[in-house]
Amino acid sequence: MSIIFDDKVKTITLQTKNTTYQMKIDRQGVLLHTYYGEKTDDTDKSYMICYRDRGFSGNPYEVGRIDRTYSLDILPQEYSCFGTGDYRISALKVKNADGSRTSCLLYESCEIREGKYSLPGLPAAYGTKEEAQTLTVTLRDCETGLKVCLYFGVFEEQDIITRAVKIINEGEGAVMLQKAASLSMDWQTGDYEWLTFYGRHTMERNLERSRIMHGVQSVGSVRGTSSHQHNPFIMVCDGSTTEEQGDCYGFSFVYSGEFLMEVEKDQMDQTRLVCGIHPENFEWKLESGESFVTPEIMMAYGKGFGSVSRIFHQMIREHICRGEWKHKRRPVLINNWEGTYFHFTGDKLEAIAREAADLGVELFVMDDGWFGKRDDDASGLGDWYPNEEKLGCTLKELGERIMALGMQFGIWFEPEGISEDSDLYRAHPDWAVAVPGRKPGLSRNQLVLDFSREDVQDYMIRRLKEILHNAPISYIKWDFNRSICDKYSRALPQERQGEMAHRFVLGLYRVLEELTKTFPHILLEGCSGGGGRFDAGMLYYTPQIWCSDNTDAIERLQIQYGTSFGYPVSAMGAHVSAVPNHQTGRVTPLSTRGCVAMAGTFGYELDVNRMTAAEREEVRSQIEMFKKHYDLIQYGEYYRLSSPVEGSATVWEMVSSDGGEALVSAVYHHVRSNPVPVYVKLGGLREDSMYRLELTGVPEERTLPINSKEHFFRQGHLVSGAALMHCGLMVPEALNGFQAWQIYLRAQSCSTVQASMSLS
């Protein structure tokens, strides 16, 4: 039983396989938070709370005259409110019908049921009655009639607890929600740090580790999307936490819009975390009887960053991603964007596809430029009608020509964007996001289509369905190439303009839900100028997301490293592109580009007709290797063995869940003369098994340097799992700049080991 309600001592305890989370209803009816961390029993842990008169920390009226030690300003709470004497950051701020902004939520009831709650119109983790339980705790403000239902989803085996909130106005007049967070979390003890993931276009999700100082720190987005600049995933940890040890908490916001994650260390050295929709551009009107549901947040606790990452990887793969492509092997693709940009014909695309098919590529993706008047990024966006003059055929005919080569056919869309120079804009200028009387901001020469409007959503659903019904399309790349400003919808009244940004995201989700239901066989890949909307919310609809518009293999090491803290390899769109790289001008070996792209969904983004015969053969070998080790790469447990911002090489490992096989990949990003050896300790292996190590994807006939560690792997030595995990492994030296190595390990049977020993 994962949820335990002790009515005698008024505690509610949530138990997962390795963690415990506890709340307590105190004598005043306040729902306190008492514990979250390593698994323990359901003993009442409120004895840890210190009650003392703290100057300028006031007391509720009912107890203030008799107990000046009781103050909301210092108590650890499950859902903090603004205006009642808790001066720390709050989860809820409401403008009541009388204009006041005070809320006081007290416990009313709780309910436990089998299975996982769902959220109407929002993505959320899902689980059967056998996989999850739901706890609903109801709080109420007796003065205003505001009711708040706290949802907890408990996935016992996955070590995940989810959180969401439903706010119901049961008062007589309308109220305005000014802040409605999904989670408020208090730690009474501990000196914590937090890991956040900042960036910019083409350089997303860079790890930053900071000490949580006294006062308020935050990361977030007011860009209409979760953004390139900050990601809605964070970790909170002890100062001594490493990849494999130390207390670590992870929080993933299942939402693709504007968000705020803020931490505060208070006067008593307590730490509070609040996560939810960004309140700066948010206001939601609740008439009497109406309700509002916040997006979900997933949280996990573990020892070390690595263990928490692996929890989220498994959770996203099994309980966020849905549909046919959840476990189905995804095709190796080639995208024409960096090979042609806007300048192509149907014949040119077919020529690329023909050569790619011969090399083993399974899916051809036609990127931007196939529709309307679209020869650059200044026009045509929104006119989703194939440009048959440019293609030289219909879209259906082009798709059939690609399929005749033995390939699947995919296509690029950007439904949320619109060009002023487009037939759609000329017909519906009011559909573009803009403030009346002001010239809207431009980005990439385009405006934003107002997806908060139901008529816009309906139009886009009809238009996309017509295209998809009339052409043999099996893959969609869904892009969005700008941030949103001038947030105003002509479909909303003045007092509801604060709802526009959230309604936009709800509209996006509605369109995606309709398409995935109608076309379940189509694989959707999310994109927003690369990784500008890389979040668990999008992964509910698109099981993979283009990780970054930066395809440079060395830059991708850092981008994919940061992404791996919260998201699985199977979610990361990664391609091999041409050199010199189009973003950095860097030249890296094809083997290195292949190695890095294999730490993702794997594909190509170039014109294979420009490759040499030797390069084409290497591509053929890469594809064969990826297919051979597909399950290990996409679904294996992921270990970060070294960092791309330290040392000379980035090393990572994928290991099967039973520890029977592993693939270690290493890329040198800083080559030195007379180098210091690179050592790593592997993870996830069987201590009592012997492993045969072999280099893979490396030509046998290559001349080896004297004393190269490569000789060791050529000889097929056996090494125990215990030695590899506790003593370690030396990575072969770099033979050139940006050298990559891939080492395959397989546990050997007893007979194989004995035979090997006899031969030696």
pLDDT level of residue 504 (50, 70, 90 thresholds)? very high
pLDDT level of residue 94 (50, 70, 90 thresholds)? very high
**Residue found by looking up tokens 């961390």 in the block:** 37
Judged against a pLDDT cut of 70, whether residue 589 lies above it is answered with yes
Judged against a pLDDT cut of 70, whether residue 281 lies above it is answered with yes
Task: Report pLDDT for 747.
Answer: 97
Note the pLDDT tens digit of each residue in 324-362: 999 999 999 999 999 999 999 999 999 999 999 999 999
The secondary structure of 601-663, three-state, reads CCEEECCHHHCCHHHHHHHHHHHHHHHHCHHHHHHCEEEECCCCCCCCEEEEEEECCCCCEEE
Q: List all residues 6 or more positions away from 737 whose beta carbon is below 8 Å from its beta carbon.
A: 588, 668, 671
Phi, psi of 692 (to 5 degrees): -90, 130
Judged against a pLDDT cut of 90, whether residue 758 lies above it is answered with no
Task: Report pLDDT for 751.
Answer: 52
Locate 64 and state its tokens.
Answer: 């203030």
Locate 742 and state its tokens.
Answer: 């891939």
| Region for residue 474 given its phi and psi (left: phi exceeds 0; alpha: psi -120 to 50; beta: otherwise) | alpha
* Section 522-540 average pLDDT: 98
Determine the Cα–Cα distance for residues 106 and 710; give it in Å rounded to an integer.
66
pLDDT level of residue 293 (50, 70, 90 thresholds)? very high
Judged against a pLDDT cut of 50, whether residue 759 lies above it is answered with no
Note the pLDDT tens digit of each residue in 430-459: 999 999 999 999 999 999 999 999 999 999
Determine the Cα–Cα distance for residues 608 and 663; give it in Å rounded to an integer.
27
Task: Report pLDDT for 495.
Answer: 96
Judged against a pLDDT cut of 70, whether residue 399 lies above it is answered with yes
What is residue 494's three-state secondary structure?
A: helix
Of the chain, the percentage scoring pLDDT greater than 90 comes to 93
Judged against a pLDDT cut of 70, whether residue 709 lies above it is answered with no
Task: Report pLDDT for 706.
Answer: 45
pLDDT level of residue 703 (50, 70, 90 thresholds)? very low
Note the pLDDT tens digit of each residue in 184-193: 999 999 999 9
Task: Report pLDDT for 701.
Answer: 40
Long-range contacts of 749-756 (CB under 8 A, 24+ apart): 752/692, 753/690, 753/718, 756/716, 756/718
pLDDT level of residue 753 (50, 70, 90 thresholds)? low
* Section 101-112 average pLDDT: 97
Task: Report pLDDT for 719.
Answer: 96
Whether 7 is a known active-site residue: answer: no
Q: 266 to each of 36, 187, 422, 731, how far by Cα in Å?
A: 19, 11, 53, 46
Judge whether 518 and 303 are in contact, CB under 8 Å: no
Locate 46 and state its tokens.
Answer: 């409120």
Determine the Cα–Cα distance for residues 636 and 659; give it in Å rounded to an integer.
9
Note the pLDDT tens digit of each residue in 129-145: 999 999 999 999 999 99
Between 375-389, 510-524, 675-689, 700-714, the lowest mean confidence (pLDDT) is in: 700-714
**Residue found by looking up tokens 């290559």 in the block:** 702
Judged against a pLDDT cut of 50, whether residue 540 lies above it is answered with yes
Tell me which of 519 and 65 has the higher pLDDT: 519
Task: Report pLDDT for 702.
Answer: 47
Determine the Cα–Cα distance for residues 303 and 54; give it in Å rounded to an integer.
34
pLDDT level of residue 717 (50, 70, 90 thresholds)? confident
Determine the Cα–Cα distance for residues 458 and 469; give it in Å rounded to an integer.
16
Tell me which of 752 and 452 has the higher pLDDT: 452
* Section 634-655 average pLDDT: 96
Task: Report pLDDT for 752.
Answer: 56
Note the pLDDT tens digit of each residue in 556-587: 999 999 999 999 999 999 999 999 999 999 99
Q: What is the largest CA-CA distance in the chain?
A: 88
Note the pLDDT tens digit of each residue in 726-742: 999 999 999 888 999 99
Note the pLDDT tens digit of each residue in 33-74: 999 999 999 999 999 999 999 999 999 998 878 899 999 999
Among 290, 615, 694, 710, the active-site one is 615
Determine the Cα–Cα distance for residues 322 and 11; give it in Å rounded to an integer.
35
Judged against a pLDDT cut of 70, whether residue 521 lies above it is answered with yes
Judged against a pLDDT cut of 50, whether residue 700 lies above it is answered with no
Residues constituting the chain? 760
What pTM was estimated for this model as a whole?
0.96
User: 263-299 burial, b if ≥16 CB within 10 A, otherwise e?
Assistant: bbbbeeebbbbbbbbbbebbbbbbeeeeebbbbbbbb
Task: Report pLDDT for 481.
Answer: 97
Between 107-121, 533-547, 684-698, the lowest mean confidence (pLDDT) is in: 684-698
* Section 605-617 average pLDDT: 95
Locate 118 and state its tokens.
Answer: 């769902």
Whether 615 is a known active-site residue: answer: yes
CA 588, 593, 595, 599 torsion: positive or negative? positive
User: What are residue 691's DSSP bridge partners?
Assistant: 719, 747
Among 156, 264, 355, 535, the active-site one is 535
**Residue found by looking up tokens 């490493």 in the block:** 242
Task: Report pLDDT for 760.
Answer: 44
Q: List all residues 6 or more positions away from 93 whose beta carbon is below 8 Å from its beta carbon.
A: 81, 82, 83, 101, 103, 177, 178, 179, 279
Task: Report pLDDT for 575.
Answer: 98
pLDDT level of residue 229 (50, 70, 90 thresholds)? very high
* Section 116-123 average pLDDT: 98
CA 457, 459, 461, 467 torsion: positive or negative? negative
Average pLDDT, whole number, for the chain? Answer: 95
Note the pLDDT tens digit of each residue in 294-308: 999 999 999 999 999
Tell me which of 549 and 749 has the higher pLDDT: 549
Determine the Cα–Cα distance for residues 376 and 388; give it in Å rounded to an integer.
17
Domains of the chain by range and CATH? Answer: 3-319 (2.70.98.60), 333-546 (3.20.20.70), 643-759 (2.60.40.1180)
